[in-house]
Amino acid sequence: MSQYYELYRTSTLGFALTDSLDELIQAGHITPQLAIRVLMQYDKSIAEALTNHVKARATIKGSLKTYRFCDDVWTFIISNPNFKFENEVVSADKVKIVACNARRPDEA
């Protein structure tokens, strides 16, 4: 069975799914094992949707303050970033970027 990153569980959609699954477990409508299987499918579906359906590109300029590499995951902290999309520029005070290997572990 392939493993997918659980990064998107902390998104708004991921939190909503987790809360809904918790309510279903508490009400006795599903088992905890089924909830885990649903979350694993969510991880897989999000990864595949982002890979296959998102074609947007952005250029980022800013000051790299911190970076680290641990367990095949890069984390970057950038201050004063400017994101340039096709027709738009977006700025922020600080941004954290977490980058994971696009290949699944079984595709190494």
CA distance 57 to 59: 7
pLDDT band at 2, cuts 50/70/90?
low
User: pLDDT at residue 106 above 60?
Assistant: no
Average pLDDT of 52-78? 92
Domains, the chain, ordered by start: 7-53 (1.10.287.190), 59-102 (2.30.18.10)
> Does pLDDT of 6 surpass 90?
no
Q: How many CB atoms lie within 10 A of CB 78?
A: 19
Determine the pLDDT at residue 57: 87
Classify residue 41 as left (phi > 0), alpha (psi -120 to 50) or beta. alpha
